[in-house]
């Protein structure tokens, strides 16, 4: 688990003029993969600060760094961050420190680094790394209770929920970056017990407000990762939307879990905020006194003291009509990862307790992040009680589930007294009309 150091100093300022209230002050410095729009340039690694990107390929070409930081920057300047992620905490921290010092107000390297900046408005993005495997957890008890309660109101939580971090394997080939369109999926649905199943377009398309955790250095197959070592294997965090077709999901889920209701699309924000950047926003982790204590491999003093992370998460919706009328996206949900029933370290420890080998670039989803109240819902299933109580937007439109032309926007940030506010950028995708439905 990363501790505080000079890079977190809230008094630090940068010679980059555009920081203002940006998500990307000098205390953040997230990593991503970019190139200039409409160019034939190759994608390459960069670091966000203010409304600019530090082009790491240019930094390496100009020999602006030395030693471990240079080795790290060389790996991070490639077309994916996998090799950089594999290097581990020593290299991640060395590059973060070197960039922090070079970007500070009064830095001697300002003229050389200024030549390495690319405006974010001129950039386009791709996935930050090659994602080999995607595992999606079910770590918010509020989501588990409210969402499952739509289908099983008398017994929403499965009996293992408070003992084991529940998860399933997703599909990595359909993970895309913010900005891509999401096409309405089709699948088998069964509207009622009195009707036979049939192939149809999903009428209950939903978003899921999540965090995505990228694995850094992996572990050997057959070796488990202890809870106290778990976060050393995690490079960083981004926003994640694990889209769901609820009508397809409801019919197919038992006994092996969702399939077509999930595998059509998962989207992530382009910037990955490092675990080190999150050090000022750690919080104590605890459970209700009458809940069972986690098993020993899921328990440690460090996890209890600071295993939770205070990350505020927001979901906004902009309908096609709102966009035409010039109305901005409207908040429909807000929650906080600090309320999660399972910590990140517990998720990693459980994922590997059987000897499963994590690989650099693997992606772990937190599962939908919700609080206890309706306004804290991380998906439409909760917000509208399965479509029975549609939400009314400020322009009078209503939504039970998402419609074609709707744009879903996720935002996230960390703020605390004595620390600088940092953010995760934006994850935004628009729902498009489905591809043609194949009859069967």
Residues known to be catalytic: 143
Contacts of 246 (CB under 8 A, 6+ apart): 202, 204, 205, 206, 261, 381, 386, 401
Contacts of 109 (CB under 8 A, 6+ apart): 64, 102
- Angle formed at CA 233 by CA 101 and CA 421, multiple of 5 degrees: 45
Distance in angstroms (rounded) separating the CA atoms of residues 363 and 289 = 32
Among the listed residues 223, 161, 208, the one whose alpha carbon sits nearest the alpha carbon of residue 351: 223
E strand or H helix that includes residue 45: strand 44-49
Distance in angstroms (rounded) separating the CA atoms of residues 334 and 23 = 17
Give 58's Cβ-side CA count (13 Å radius).
15
Q: How many helices (H) and strands (E) does the chain have?
A: 11, 26
At 240, phi and psi to the nearest 5?
A: -145, 135
Contact 98, 69 (CB under 8 A): yes
Write down the H helix ranges in 163-211.
none
């Amino acid at each position: 688990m990363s501790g505080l150091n000079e890079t977190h100093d809230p008094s630090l300022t940068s010679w980059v003029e555009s920081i203002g209230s940006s998500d990307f002050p000098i205390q953040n410095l997230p990593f991503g993969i970019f190139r200039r729009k409409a160019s034939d340039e190759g994608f390459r690694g960069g670091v966000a600060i203010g409304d600019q990107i530090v082009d790491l390929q240019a930094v390496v070409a100009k020999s602006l760094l030395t030693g471990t930081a240079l080795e790290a920057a060389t790996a991070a300047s490639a077309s994916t961050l996998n090799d950089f992620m594999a290097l581990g905490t020593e290299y991640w921290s060395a590059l973060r420190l070197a960039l922090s010092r070079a970007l500070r107000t009064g830095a001697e390297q300002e003229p050389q680094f200024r030549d390495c900046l690319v405006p974010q408005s001129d950039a386009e993005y791709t996935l930050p790394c090659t994602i080999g495997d995607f595992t999606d957890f079910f770590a918010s008890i509020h989501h588990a209770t409210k969402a499952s309660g739509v289908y099983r109101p008398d017994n929403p939580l499965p009996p293992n929920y408070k003992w084991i971090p529940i998860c399933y394997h997703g599909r990595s080939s359909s993970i895309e970056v913010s900005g891509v369109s999401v096409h309405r999926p089709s699948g088998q649905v069964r509207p009622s017990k009195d009707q036979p199943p049939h192939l149809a377009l999903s009428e209950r398309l939903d978003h899921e407000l999540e965090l995505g955790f990228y694995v850094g250095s992996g572990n050997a197959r057959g070796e488990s990762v202890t809870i106290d070592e778990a976060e050393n294997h995690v490079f960083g965090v981004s926003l994640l939307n694990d889209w769901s077709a609820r009508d397809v999901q409801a019919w197919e889920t038992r006994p092996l879990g969702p399939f077509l209701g999930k595998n059509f699309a998962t989207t992530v924000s382009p910037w990955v905020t490092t675990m080190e950047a999150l050090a000022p926003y750690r919080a104590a982790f605890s459970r209700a006194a009458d809940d069972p204590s986690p098993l020993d491999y899921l328990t440690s003093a460090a996890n209890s003291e600071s295993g939770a992370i205070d990350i505020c998460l927001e979901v906004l919706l902009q309908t096609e009509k709102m966009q035409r009328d010039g109305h901005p996206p409207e908040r429909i949900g807000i929650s906080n990862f600090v309320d999660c029933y399972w910590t990140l370290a517990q998720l990693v420890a459980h994922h590997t307790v059987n000897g499963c080998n994590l690989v650099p670039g693997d992606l772990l989803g937190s599962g939908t992040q919700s609080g206890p109240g309706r306004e804290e819902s991380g998906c439409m299933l909760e917000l509208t009680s399965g479509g029975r109580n549609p939400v009314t937007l400020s322009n009078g439109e209503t939504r039970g589930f998402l419609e074609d032309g709707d744009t879903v926007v996720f935002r996230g940030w960390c703020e605390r007294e004595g620390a600088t506010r940092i953010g995760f950028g934006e994850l935004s995708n628009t729902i498009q009309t489905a591809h043609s439905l194949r009859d069967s």
